[in-house]
Amino acid sequence: MDVSASVTGDTQRVFELENRDTIRQYLDTYFDKSDIADSVFLHRATTIAEWSQGKLEKTLLKAICASAIRLAPTYHLESSPAHNWMKQVQHGLVNHMGDMSVPKLQALMLVIKFLFSMRFTGDVWVLLSIASRVAFTKRLNYERPAIDPVKQECLRRLMWSIYVVDKIFSGGIEDLTVCPTQRMHIRLPSSHHNFQLGSRSKAPFLRSKNESDTDLNVLAYLMRLYDIRDRVLR
CA 18 to CA 219: how far, in whole Å? 35
CA 148 to chain centre: 19
Residue type for position 144:
R
Largest alpha-carbon pair distance within the chain?
Answer: 55
User: In terms of C-beta distances under 8 Å and separation of at least 24 residues, what long-range contacts does 30-36 make, across chains too?
Assistant: 30/64, 30/65, 30/67, 30/68, 30/71, 32/1, 33/68, 33/71, 33/72, 34/67, 34/71, 36/192, 36/218, 36/219
Decide which of 50 and 77 is more confident: 50
| Mean pLDDT, rounded, of the chain | 89
Residue 177 pLDDT > 80 = yes
Residue 77 pLDDT class (50, 70, 90 cuts): low
Decide which of 18 and 94 is more confident: 94
Helical residues (DSSP H) of 119-178, grouped into ranges: 122-137, 149-170
- Per-residue pLDDT of 90-138, as tens digits, reads 999 999 988 899 999 999 999 999 998 887 678 899 999 999 999 999 9
- Per-residue pLDDT of 130-175, as tens digits, reads 999 999 999 999 999 999 999 999 999 999 999 999 999 999 999 9
H or E element in which residue 179 lies:
none
Helical residues (DSSP H) of the chain, grouped into ranges: 14-17, 20-33, 44-52, 58-71, 82-94, 102-118, 122-137, 149-170, 192-197, 218-233
Q: Which of 26-40, 68-82, 106-120, 213-227 has the lowest mean pLDDT?
A: 68-82
Residue 12 pLDDT class (50, 70, 90 cuts): low
